[in-house]
Amino acid sequence: MIRILSFCLLILSQSAAAQTLLVLGDSLSAGYQMPIEKSWPSLLEPNVVSASPIERVINASISGDTSGNGLHRLPALLEQHSPDWVFIELGANDGLRGFPPKQVRNNLAKLITLSQESGANVAIMQIQIPPNYGQRYSKAFADIYLTLSKEMQIPLIPFFMEKVVLTEGWMMSDGLHPNEIAQPWIAEFMTEQLLPHLNKQG
């Protein structure tokens, strides 16, 4: 009887410790023009499951999404999945469309706040846009993420595209998206960046 009770308590403890990571992104995370199982969030899942409390990675990324689109979708995602972690990879489409940095910042701040109010921890990716948009705009855009990370005390994850765009054979012909060959490296990079945060207690 004691053994059975101990076993049940162990199962309940493991279940309570199991956590969910929600990836909220755009085409950079959605597996653009490839099978979803080839995308880096899918490849990330076994890495973090084996080395952190995360038991499931939910890829809620949609190609073409802006920060505003993500803000519209997030409440339903939080209600449906009750994630323990939300990783935000949004803003690239805002920047490519020349949206005002203040608007992007406000949307991202709301995404972070909504996630935290639901009880989730949050990490955000540093997004950068091509320099041909002008140094002033590019800097103002990049500063959004650094400022939010500091003010809202959340992890800022480096932009994986910096490595991808410089590696021959890793980009699609459109010059904007990582191809299938790049996905395993991105998954390993994201594992390395996220694990220290996913494993923090409290």
What residues are labeled active site? 27, 174, 177
Strand 121-125: give its sheet, edge to edge.
54-59, 19-25, 85-89, 121-125, 156-157
CB 20 within 8 A of CB 56: yes
